[in-house]
Structure formats: structure tokens, C-alpha cells
Amino acid sequence: MTGRVLSINVATPMAVDWAKPVGRTAIMKKPVAGPVPVEKFGIAGDQVGDTKHHGGIYQAVYAFAREDLDVWAERLGRPIDNGQFGENLTTAGIDVNEALIGEQWQIGTAILQVVEIRIPCNTFKNWMGLSGFDNAAWVKRFSAEARPGPYLRVLQPGQMSAGDDITVIHKPDHDVTVSMMFRAFTADRSLLPRLLDVGAALPPDVRAQAEKHAAGART
């Protein structure tokens, strides 16, 4: 299966009063020309504003599909630029939400692994409103779709460029998708024990929550 990177988007944190509680955010991503280095903690030129809730090796790179941006553009009644949802990679031709947790992608010379999901927050809501979009009940509306886009871990640092293919080089032997993980943390927490099927690729904090829920279900 092959998709394509349409755009690589980065930003550095800015101090703003609408990004609570930390007062700074790097959601305002803008496209950059490649080739761009990709290291353990993310793409060169990109930083995290809220390091308590974002970033680290399991949230090094965030991907969102152009196809999903187009759906939102139609619903919101105006075009949406690549990077508007805070994604580092705007993709095309691959359903990133049906990707399996633990799946591996090669992009340029880098190898990335699908490992976690993005949970929408009020900073995202405020950013959409400031950008001129209808952000009423935005977190609820975005969550209802269960198409959040995945966070990616960098297994092999390298370089990538806009236009590079996204080649799936490994698919694990389970059925836990990005969409399922998102629903497990939002609409249907009974799915949390299913995340344990992912095995070693599951981030430690996700594993802890899945194990806790599984233990509670057995008592």
C-alpha cells in the first residue's frame, strides 16, 4: 500500500493567551520545502508548545489525511490549508485512520511507526475559531468522526520531502486501528483491553490504561 506526502508542516511555539493552560502553542504549522531531517523527537524545525501533554518519542510526528481535511472543508464551507489541523504530514492516498497500531511506513529514508492517536483539545478549538472557522462544539464534533490521524514514532531517522511516497513496509498481526484506539479513549472505553493486542509497539502510558481497565473488568 502506497500513499504520498503532500506537505511537511512545522512550527515553533508562540506565546498566546488562548492556548491554556500553558499559554503557548505550536499548532500554527506551515509547509516547508524538503528534504527535511527527521530525528527521534520529530521533524527539524518543529517543536512542541505543551510538553506535558504532547511530544516525546511516541508523538514525534503527527499525520492527517488531505481527504479528511477536504471533508471538513466541505462541512465548514471554506478551504482548509495543509497544516491547519496542526499536522506535520498532510497525506494523500492512504487511509491513515485505518492504519494498524504498530504499522510501519517508509517515507524518504526515514521509517515511522503508527503508535498513538491525537485527542482534540481547547487549543485546537480556539485555533480553528481564530482561523475563521465555525468552532462551536468543535472538540465534540471532531471526536464524533473517530478519524483523528495518528502520531508516529521515528524508528529510523532520515530525510523526507513533500511528494515522497508513503510505503507501508510492515503490518502487524492484529486488528487495532487508529480509529479503534481513538474510540477506546473517547466513546467506548470497553475497547481499552483490545489495545493490549498491539504488543510491544503500544506506548507505556496507553498500556497502563488498557491494563487498568482490563483488571477492573475482571473484578
The pLDDT tens digits for 22-59 are: 899 999 999 999 899 999 999 999 988 766 667 799 99
Kindly state the cell numbers that stand for 121.
483539545
Q: Is the predicted pLDDT of residue 219 greater than 60, yes or no?
A: no
Residue range 83-117, pLDDT digits in tens: 999 999 999 999 999 999 999 999 999 999 999 99
Query: Alpha-carbon distance 132 to 78, whole Å?
Result: 9
With contact defined as beta carbons under 8 Å apart, do 60 and 41 qualify?
A: yes
173: Cβ contacts below 8 Å, ≥ 6 apart: none
For each of the domains in the chain, give its residue range(s) and CATH number, in order of start: 2-185 (2.40.33.20)
Q: pLDDT tens digits, residue range 54-79?
A: 779 999 999 999 999 999 999 999 99
Tell me what the mean pLDDT of segment 184-201 comes to.
Answer: 96
> Is the distance from CB of 112 to CB of 153 less than 8 angstroms?
yes
Which one, of 41, 36, 14, 35, lies nearest residue 25 by Cα?
A: 14
